Amino acid sequence: MTETTPDMRKTVRAKRRANPYYSGPVSDHFDGKIFFNPGGSPPPGFLSLLRWQFGSGKTAWPEHYPSPHDDHVPEQRVEGTGLRVTMIGHASLLVQTAGLNMLFDPVFADRASPVQWFGPKRRNPPGVRFENLPPIDAVFVSHNHYDHLDLAALKRLAGKHDALFVTPLGNDTIIGGAVDPARIATGDWSDTVALSPEVTAHFEPVHHWSARGSTDRRMALWAGFVLETPGGKIYHVGDTGFHDGINYRNAAEKHGPFRLAILPIGAYEPRWFMTPQHQNPDEAVRGHKLCNAAHTAGHHWGTFNLTDEGIEDPLIALAEALRTHDVAAETFRPLRPGEAWDVPF
């Protein structure tokens, strides 16, 4: 055991004050205080945000955008090599395979916001009601933005399901501070977590950022996940900029091919502001090809009005991108809330 000196303790306290979520060694994507995208772009600054917010490019959304698959009740388990993915809404999905039930970025709140009286409001209810969820074994939280990290939902999941929360560095502090008791597995890019004797989860890089407020930008890490299962590999990306396809190529080289990729296709306009953080449908289709996915589920559209494009613009742009890149439409499906897809093996 190494004895700590007063100077060492002072340094640790200073780092904790600088970053309230995480203190750890410097790496190729952490400078001792904030995380960053290696060779990539930082998020736009405050002046750019004001320019966008006070612009006139936002397309109005309907108040309600109901799904034809609303109020789906999933099966309790999908065993063996079967693979079913069910859209709950926006970036929240249920993945069932190998006897495990896994939720990704579950948001059941009415608004993707720190308060429930203001902010982006749901245009459709969750496609699976909370009370209709099957027993949940693991909950993956890709990063801490409010449209991906809903602490109220995590409290309910911990209380009812005793699920294991899997999340990148720093987010464990946010979750653990609000959800008690909670079982949390946290990791850096390239770390792994065993979910069962047959299923392993890998933390993988994406090009994004994080914040819960105005003073904690990039103080918790963001990540994608790769699941190794008996029925093939699954690549889940909660949010990402395309970043010249670098992370897709690396995922293919390290883990590919994939039976299923789960990729964002929405919240991408205006491009001058969104390019570093949100890919558009054309980039998602290019990512589908670069990572060597047999099938892709498109998410992150049609529930919360976060950016300038119209509510169905991602569908139009995706159809055009599939034609342009000669990808069969049945292999890349933009899922609606409550829609369940039994992914071919």
With residue 227 as reference, give the H or E element that holds it.
Answer: strand 224-229
At residue 5, the pLDDT reads 47
Give me the CATH number covering residue 142.
Answer: 3.60.15.10
In a domain, 117, yes or no: yes
Residue 185 lies in a domain: yes
> How is residue 58 annotated by DSSP?
P
Task: Establish if 47 belongs to a structural domain.
Answer: no
**Residue 225 token pair:** 């996940």
Tens place of pLDDT for every residue, the chain, 345 residues?
334 344 544 444 455 568 999 999 999 999 999 999 999 999 998 899 889 888 878 899 999 999 999 889 999 999 999 999 999 999 999 999 999 999 999 999 999 999 999 999 999 999 999 999 999 999 999 999 999 999 999 999 999 999 999 999 999 999 999 999 999 999 999 999 999 999 999 999 999 999 999 999 999 999 999 999 999 999 999 999 999 999 999 999 999 899 999 999 999 999 999 999 999 999 999 999 999 999 999 999 999 999 999 999 999 999 999 999 999 999 999 999 999 999 999
Total residue length of the chain: 345
Domain that holds residue 289: 72-342
With a CB cutoff of 8 Å and minimum separation 6, the contacts of 244 are none
How would you list the strands of the sheet with 83-89, edge to edge? 183-187, 164-168, 138-140, 100-104, 92-97, 83-89, 340-342
271 within a domain of the structure (yes/no): yes
* 329 vs 333: CA distance, rounded Å: 7
* Domain annotation covers residue 54: no
286-327 tens-digit pLDDT: 999 999 999 999 999 999 999 999 999 999 999 999 999 999
Phi and psi for 35 in degrees, rounded to 5? -90, 155
Tell me if 58 is assigned to some domain.
no
Is residue 24, in this structure, part of any structural domain at all? Answer: no
Rounded CA separation 277/279 (Å): 7
Number of domains in the chain: 1
Question: Whole-angstrom Cα distance, residue 320 to residue 308?
Answer: 19
Asked if 258 and 232 count as a contact pair (C-beta separation under 8 A), the reply is yes
303, 340 contact by CB (below 8 A): no
How many Cβ atoms from other residues are within 10 Å of residue 264's Cβ?
26
Is 182 part of a structural domain of the chain?
yes
CA end-to-end span of the chain: 51
